[in-house]
């Protein structure tokens, strides 16, 4: 199995999931900072030009949520998602909110050209996205537990999914420590050996504080 990732991108969540279950996989660096996700070789694998993707027996799987749920199905003994249908669905609801709402705000800031070719509109779009992000993260915060993990006693796919977005919040200048439960969760996640191994492999010093972020 191969995972194509870029340091600190949302692929971080897939990277952590594979490390948590003890999967044997090759992590293939596809640095967005060098636009490697737009190289002809990568576009042949994923015409959308986005990480993460995984390749299993020559077949390509795109979309972070799909990769995370594949890891859950392939390693069911790891219990990466709650068993109870309602708790499972609540975790999926949070993951989908992150993918289809929160992630899009960052796309508006970092890739406004995906939305409009008119460059003079970019700064207004960024301001709007930043305001929306504070509202979105307040919704995220309201769904998080005071202790433990999202929806179950175990570190879940939803928890993993939260990690890169917290760091992105800092990167765009939001004071993420205002979200106390989110900060507590990211702090506890950061202490896990599997998470530490992935942060080291991706060259990231920390998820928590902007001053400590290497890339």
Residue 86 engages its own copies in binding (rule: CB under 8 A): yes
Residue in 34, 124, 177, 187 binding its own copies, rule: CB under 8 A: 124
The residue range among 37-45, 67-75, 166-174, 206-214 that interacts with its own copies, by the rule CB under 8 A, is 67-75
**Percentage helix, strand, coil for the chain under 3-state DSSP, each rounded to 5:** 60, 10, 30
Contact window for its own copies (CB under 8 A) among 12-20, 121-129, 165-173, 203-211: 121-129
Candidates 77, 85, 147, 211: give the one binding its own copies (CB under 8 A): 85
> Counting contacts by CB under 8 A, is residue 141 touching its own copies?
no
Binding residue (CB under 8 A) for its own copies from 34, 35, 38, 56? 56
Radius of gyration of the chain (CA): 17
Q: Does 74 bind its own copies (CB under 8 A)?
A: yes
- Going 198 to 202 to 205 to 211, the CA torsion angle's sign is negative
Check binding of 90 to its own copies (CB under 8 A).
yes
Beta-carbon contacts of 170 under 8 Å, excluding residues fewer than 6 positions away, are: 176, 208, 209, 210, 213
Q: Pick between residue 90 and residue 192 the one whose CB is nearest to its own copies.
A: 90
Is 139 a binder of its own copies (CB under 8 A)?
yes
Minimal distance in Å, beta carbon 208 to its own copies? 26
Secondary structure class of 189 (helix, strand, coil): helix
Helices (H), 30-156: 40-45, 64-74, 85-97, 103-110, 122-143
């Amino acid at each position: 199995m191969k995972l194509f990732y870029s340091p600190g991108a949302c692929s971080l969540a897939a990277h952590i999931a594979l490390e948590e279950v003890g999967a044997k996989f090759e992590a293939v660096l596809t640095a967005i900072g060098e636009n490697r996700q737009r190289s002809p070789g990568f576009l042949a694998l994923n015409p959308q030009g986005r990480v993460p993707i995984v390749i299993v027996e020559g077949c390509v799987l795109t979309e972070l949520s799909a990769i995370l749920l594949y890891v859950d199905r392939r390693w069911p003994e790891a219990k990466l998602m709650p068993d109870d249908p309602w708790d499972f669905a609540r975790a999926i609801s949070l993951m989908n909110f992150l993918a289809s709402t929160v992630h899009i705000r960052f796309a508006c800031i970092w890739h406004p050209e995906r939305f409009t070719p008119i460059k003079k509109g970019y700064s207004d779009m960024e301001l709007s996205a930043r305001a929306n992000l504070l509202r979105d993260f307040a919704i995220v915060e309201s769904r998080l537990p005071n202790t433990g993990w999202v929806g179950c006693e175990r570190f879940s796919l939803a928890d993993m999914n939260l990690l890169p977005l917290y760091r992105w919040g800092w990167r765009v200048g939001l004071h993420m420590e205002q979200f106390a439960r989110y900060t507590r969760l990211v702090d506890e996640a950061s202490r896990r050996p599997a998470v530490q191994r992935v942060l080291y492999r991706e060259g990231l010093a920390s998820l928590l504080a902007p001053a400590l972020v290497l890339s």
